[in-house]
Amino acid sequence: MVDLHSKEQLGRQLVKLALNKLDYWTLRELGSYNKNNNKILLLPIGKRSWLVGNHKISHKKNGSYSVIKDKTNVHDFRFKKAAFFYAILEKKQRYQISNAILQNDQLLGRLLEEQAFVTERLKLYRKKDNVFKEQLLNAKLGQLENKLKNTKKELEKNLSLAKYVKVWD
């Protein structure tokens, strides 16, 4: 005769096996739907991740959005809207607009990092009372702010253009 403890363990193992089979079946079906269908699949995965077409978008702790395709990181986007539109446009094979969004986001990231670096250097030279280098960095900071403004404007233009692309047929 089997004791109650063994039956309980057997029941847990059976439930675990059934859930694993269900997870495997769900992933297999979603994968085949995603490959064979031109429609875009948009599913939340937990609180900080989404499945958009063939891409997985994860919100990182530093505020960026990581876009992953086939287990490789495509890019860490600064804006959620840019990450989603990139994934949607890639699935719809609208590569020109998606690449423009990707390039603008990459440029924006580099410019923001450079702006932070120049700002820190400027603080350092202000403490040292080095007027020449301070003026030089102020000029560079002004140029960076203009480039940032133009890049943000270009990214917003591409994102607003992406809104009008026929996505859901």
> pLDDT of 21-48, one tens digit each?
887 887 777 777 666 666 777 888 888 9
| 8 Å CB contact between 82 and 72 | no
Q: Is the pLDDT higher at 26 or at 99?
A: 99
71 pLDDT more than 90:
no
In this prediction, residue 113 carries a pLDDT of 92
In this prediction, residue 36 carries a pLDDT of 64
Q: What is the 8-class DSSP label of residue 63? A: S
> Out of 48-57, 106-115, 150-159, which region has the weakest mean confidence (pLDDT)?
48-57
The phi and psi torsions of 49 (rounded to 5 degrees) equal -140, 155
In this prediction, residue 38 carries a pLDDT of 67
The phi and psi torsions of 36 (rounded to 5 degrees) equal -90, -10
The token duo for 8 is: 């309980």
159 pLDDT more than 70:
yes
d(CA 139, CA 30) in angstroms, rounded, equals 53
Residue 55: other Cβ atoms inside 10 A:
21
In this prediction, residue 3 carries a pLDDT of 65
